[in-house]
A and B are shown apart, each in its own frame.
Chain A
Amino acid sequence: MTLDIIKNIENSEILLTNCIFEEVEKNETILKIENLNVYAKKEHILKNINLEIPKNKITVLLGPSGCGKTTLLKSLNRLTDLYKELKVSGHIFIENDDILASKQNTSVLRQKMGLLSQRPYPLPYSIYKNVAYGIKLKGIKNKKLIEFNVEKKLREVGLWEEVKDRLHSSPESLSIGQQQRLCLARGLAVKPRIILADEPTSALDPVSSKIIENLFKELKKHYTIILVTHVLRQAQRLADHVVFMNYGEVIEQGSSKEIFSNPQTSQLKEYLIEGN
């Protein structure tokens, strides 16, 4: 019985994946940001941001530290709500649904995005329960189904083989890189459309970073990825679309090729020279 359900789910996901592939061809926009402004007290952190994020691509938010990249990322899933001093105005549309409209059900909305932060923050539960937490928040209660999904998500991030014998031990026993992948699996468990990655490799060693980067290349088939980074080389390796920010403004944006081979503004030129 349960196996049938599981098979059905798998089939429908294959169908879904096929749909996504078809959509890729059309170069669709998944997220549209209009006139986004963020103030912290008197400071103007984000100034009139207008952006379109292409679906199933890796969009890199590039720029020096403190230019507002992280704030932009946090506005996307309304984590800015947690900081009472922040005032956000404007519109962010995900499939014609305004994220910033006050009536939104933030729980449902946040599940459309998976957040991967600078450092892994596993919950104080076992490895298994960390992933199961996400699945349960999605409303799934069937134990078999949860079990199946935990394995699936851990496989998706290439962690299953490494942890299958110690699913019930604490995530603290994992390396930082593994923990970061665990957090990614937990984020994927709520079936997001978009992965928000905030300098996800900044605390990792080069090998772990490489694994995450390769994962992203794989995951963009199914998800849209918005990656914040200030590592220029990483941006060059991963980006399909690049948004260059400075002092809270979008200075320049375009395809990876345009931006890196033919920068228009002096600020970006300077940044590219410094970075290389």
Chain B
Amino acid sequence: MYLRRKILSRMSDAWMLITLAMIILLPLIIGVALYFRASGLLQNTGLIHLLGTSEWLPHEKKFGFVPFIFSSLYVTTLAFAFSAPISFFAAIYLTQFSHGRMLKIMQPVIDILAGIPSVVYGVWGILVIVPFVSKVVAPAFHFTTSGYSILAGGMVLAVMCIPYMLNMLVESFLTVPQGLKEASFSLGATAWESVKHAVIRKSFPGIISSFGLGMAKAFGETLAVMMVVGNMVKLSLNPLEAGYPLPALIANNFGEMMSIPMYDSALMFAAFLLFIIIMAINLIFRYFIYKTQMR
């Protein structure tokens, strides 16, 4: 009897260890595999050339990734700039100022928004955001565009990120104990002072990690962005011009044009870049969290 229990216990230990190892190893395996698939291009062209030039002419074996990296970063930054303040203040209002009933109503709404497939957001972007950009935003700046642009991508992405970040922010603000707020109020602080010094400060790591995860998600989002961003290899600071983010490059071309030498390898390299950049975003935000927790 005892032996059986002991064996069972050992087995469950081993099982948990294996699953844990799988979770840890998986990203590593993906990274290594992508690197090896991309190594053909790396040996042929060299890393500096790939990351330092902006010419994309696969037929001539010219693979400059700068426009793609730039587009990705641009779209993500715009999306972040639109969505972070909105979700931040919405979360503060929902958890600190509104009636408790409001939060109960909003929570399923947020969940539904977060659960809408990205293709739906893409279609909505084509129907609403793209015309909005071409007919309202662009004329205001005396510019003509089809509307399929970095800006449209950023706006669609922002709308997609809001429920995602809002959810995490609400969670982290709700963990601030009521007693802490009461302590601040009882010292004569106003509602905003209490929110600023007690709630926001206490949930700082939570805020940073919501922003970080939101950004990483935005960076990797493929379909909806691809549908509205124009998909043209360009390098322009003007957000009304079209762009071509990394995920769109992979999704648009994978499985096609494989007759071109090195193309397959170039797409793998794009995936590898995406992987590395998202990992870097995560690590940077981890570091911020670590720093803020140390204070």
Contacts and interface: CB of A to CB of B under 8 A. Distances in A.
B181 A82 contact: yes
A138 B193 CA distance: 13
Interface residues of A, number: 31
A124 B188 contact: no
A119 B177 CA distance: 11
A47 to B, nearest CB: 24
A104 to B, nearest CB: 12
Interface in A78-97: 79, 82, 84-85
A124 B201 contact: yes
Given A84-B100, A123-B197, A170-B295, A117 B179 contact: yes
A187 B187 CA distance: 6
B36 to A, nearest CB: 46
Interface in B144-179: 177-179
Interface string A110-154: 110111011101011100000001100110000000000000000
Given A121-B177, A124-B202, A125-B201, A190 B182 contact: no
B33 interface: no
Interface string B176-194: 0111111111111110010
B99 interface: yes
A135 to B, nearest CB: 10
Interface residues of B, number: 23
B186 A77 contact: yes
Interface string A204-248: 000000000000000000000000000000000000000000000
B198 interface: yes
A133 B185 contact: no
B186 A137 contact: no
B183 A111 contact: no
A110 B179 contact: no
Given A84-B99, A84-B100, A133-B197, A121 B187 contact: no
Contacts of A118: 179
Contacts of B188: 107-108, 110-111, 137-138, 190
Contacts of B181: 82
Overall SS of chain B's interface: helix
Contacts, number: 70
A170 B201 CA distance: 13
B79 to A, nearest CB: 30
A110 B186 contact: yes
Contacts of B189: 107, 137
A110 B187 contact: yes
A133 B193 CA distance: 11
Contacts of A186: 183, 187
A59 B182 CA distance: 22
B187 A134 contact: yes
A107 B180 CA distance: 16
B173 to A, nearest CB: 13
Given A124-B198, A125-B201, A190 B187 contact: yes
A186 B189 CA distance: 13
Of B181, B188, B295, which is in contact with the most chain A CB atoms at under 10 Å from its CB? B188
B186 A113 contact: yes
B198 A137 contact: no
A114 B186 contact: yes
A77 B181 CA distance: 14
Given A124-B201, A124-B202, A170-B295, A115 B184 contact: no
A16 B232 CA distance: 78
Contacts of B204: 124
Interface in B234-287: none
Contacts of B99: 84
A116 to B, nearest CB: 9
Contacts of A133: 187, 197
B183 A121 contact: yes
A183 interface: yes
A82 B187 contact: no
A74 B185 CA distance: 11
Contacts of A138: 188
Given A85-B100, A123-B198, 18 more contacts: A79-B186, A82-B178, A82-B181, A107-B190, A110-B186, A111-B187, A114-B187, A115-B186, A121-B177, A121-B179, A121-B180, A123-B180, A123-B202, A124-B202, A124-B204, A125-B197, A134-B187, A189-B187
10 contacts: A79-B186, A84-B99, A110-B185, A111-B187, A111-B188, A123-B183, A123-B198, A124-B198, A186-B183, A190-B187
Q: Give me the 4 closest cross-chain CB pairs, A-B, nearest first.
A: A115-B186, A111-B188, A107-B188, A121-B179
Interface of A: 74, 77, 79, 82, 84-85, 107-108, 110-111, 113-115, 117-119, 121, 123-125, 133-134, 137-138, 170, 183, 186-187, 189-190, 196
